[in-house]
Structure 1
Amino acid sequence: MSQDIMGDITGKVVVVTGAGRGLGKAIALGLAQRGAKIAVLTREKDQTEEIAAELEAIIGPDGTLALCTDVSDEDQVREAAAAVEKRWGRVDGLVNNAAVMPPMTPVVDLELDLVRQVFDVNLVACFSTTKHFAPIMVRSGGGRIVYISSMIGVQANPGQSVYGAAKAGLTLLSNVVHREMADQGIRTVALAPGLTDTPGMRTIASDEYIERVSSSYPGGRVGQPEDVVPFVAFLCSGAAQHLSGTLLPIRPVTG
């Protein structure tokens, strides 16, 4: 059996958005450790420089491309896609991770400007990255798009209507892209982690909430960013070729 079928991603070109910290950073570094060439799209200049240095320490400068990119700006996404294609001539994987996590707020108290901001980054940006990176995948023989959704997009949680609605939209987007592009070699999955210990999560979740949710998780703890990496690596490999257009939860479904 070939290494590709066994899940090897050595030499594959994978683009990771929102890779400046938290889950996106863990994914980028984890895939690099498995031998992938990594292009990261991060919004903050200092984070871009930091992740670039960490990636180069793992895979060298030839396997690293760090682009300071606001994924909610289509022109910047278009330029980033062109830069990746110019550098390597192909894209094998796109991990749509960039997101903002707003404070828990009842629907009647929401400011619509915040709603629009969350949707722009968490959902609309994924339309943009798909639009500009998928054609490169097609030209290079196909590829995988991973949409980082959330269990909050599957199970309603009071105070998280905006975040949940945007993440639920990713699940539908993943399925539609599968239906539109599967015959062109594009495979899609919406990956839905549960509560994951990231800086964004820590800014909105209380210790009491984290402790309560932890009780339903394996080992009695919430997820760590590194827990998600093997799933993304598997999806970007040839071993997941027959898996597409679906939602993949990676935590217990509770009532």
Structure 2
Amino acid sequence: MAELFDLTGKVAVLTGASRGMGLHMATALARHGATVVIAARKQEQLDDAAAQINSAAGSGRAIAVACNIGSKEQVQALVNTARARAGPVDILIGNAGVNPYYGPTSEIPDDAYDKTMSANVQSNLWLARMVAPDMARAGGGSMMFTSSIGAFKPSTMLGTYGMSKLALIGLVRNIAAEFGPAGIRVNAICPGLVKTDFARELWDKPEVEERIRKDIPLRRLGEPEDFEGIAVFLASDASRYMTGQALTVCGGSNMWA
């Protein structure tokens, strides 16, 4: 069964991959044979992340490319660099996202709304369009995008972020339908609350973490390494008949939603 998860010779592009979930997903893909092109905004952090991946999976398995996903030109440069240095893209993980605003959606400033929707939705459409021709020529490929369980319920503080992640699931379903005839699979990963720097404001108080844990059947918050397996699964032939899905990884917290 090991061949189902074999990614030898595959090229993966991952955004938001200098730390946390993205770094763990990239490391897992590299350990299963892929060459990973990792992107985030800061080159120094990326270089450290690439060194960690190369130490874990073998020299030259990770390539670090700084990219601001809010810039279409930088996203295109990321894809061009991936092709030039590693080859045509077989796997895409759109993990980068932003949340510049906490508060009611009815009061969000226009610039914060635009930034949220551009980074969390439109940038992933850009990426999908840019790498789809590579996958089509190869007869198939896999795209996955990090959504959130926040997509499935309202919030008076994180509502616009949740809206953007619900829109991302809508994007996933549409491009899954459009790219499916070319053998390209597209899925969404919907994390619960994960102990990352990105979500630190939501969990970094002992009493808050304890209260949240009691509402999770597995009685713990997510950890970045919890996403290694699902990334390999969706990238590999193990999930070859799965597309257009939104998979929750939340310790069971979302089963009542």
TM-score by length of 2: 0.91
Residue 37 of structure 1 aligns with which residue? 35
**Alignment check: 8 A CA contact 1:71 1:129 kept:** no
Q: Secondary structure at the match of 2:113?
A: helix
- CA deviation after TM superposition for structure 1 residue 206, in Å: 5.7
Of stretches 86-95 and 158-167 in structure 1, the one that deviates more from structure 2 is: 86-95
Q: Deviations over 1:101-138 (max 9, x none)?
A: 33531223322211111112111110111111121221
The CA RMSD over aligned residues, in Å, is: 1.8
| CA displacement at 1:194 relative to structure 2 | 0.7
1:250: how far off? 1.8
Provide, for residues 60-100 of structure 1, a one-character-per-residue CA deviation record: whole Å limited to 9, x for no partner: 44322110111111111111111111223222210010011
C-alpha contact 1:26 1:226 (8 A) present in aligned 2: yes
Shift of residue 17, structure 1, vs aligned partner? 0.4
Percentage of matched positions with identical amino acids:
30
Structure 1's consecutive aligned runs of 4 or more residues displaced over 4 angstroms after TM superposition are none
Query: 1: distance between equivalents of 2:7 and 2:208?
Result: 37
Equivalent pair of 1:150/1:191 in contact (CA under 8 Å): yes
Give me the whole-angstrom Cα distance separating, in 2, the residues matched to 1:131 and 1:210: 39
Match of 1:102 in 2: 100
What's 1:165 paired with? 163
Aligned to 1:139: 137
The answer (yes or no) to whether the contact 2:120–2:165 under 8 Å persists in 1 is yes
Give the distance between the partners of 2:119 and 2:192, measured in 1 at CA.
Answer: 20
Residue 248 of structure 1 pairs with residue 244 of structure 2: no
**Alignment partner of 1:62: what SS?**
coil
**Matched residue, 2:225:** 226
CA contact (8 A) 1:103 1:204 kept: no
| Uncovered stretches (5+) of structure 2, i.e. residues with no partner | none
Name which of structure 1's ranges 184-193 and 217-226 shifts more when overlaid on structure 2: 217-226
Aligned to 1:216: 215
The letter for the 1-side match of 2:212 is V
By how many angstroms is 1:217 displaced?
Answer: 2.0
1:104·1:204 contact (CA, 8 Å) conserved in 2? Answer: no
Count, aligned residues: 253
Q: Say which is worse superposed, 23-32 or 206-215, in terms of deviation.
A: 206-215
Offset, 1:218: 3.8
Q: Secondary structure at the match of 1:80?
A: helix
Query: 1:88 maps to which residue?
Result: 86
Please say if residues 123 and 166 of structure 1, whose CA atoms lie closer than 8 Å, have aligned partners that are also in contact: yes
> Which of 181, 206, 212 lines up with 1:183 in the alignment?
181
Q: Note the 1:73-84 alignment, pairs <5 A.
A: 73-84=71-82
Structure 2 counterpart of 1:58, which letter? A
CA spacing shift, 1:212–1:145, aligned 2, 3 Å: same
Q: Could you say which residue in structure 1 is the equivalent of 2:49?
A: 51
CA distance in 1, matches of 2:59, 2:185: 28
Q: Name the aligned partner's letter for residue 246 of structure 1.
A: Q
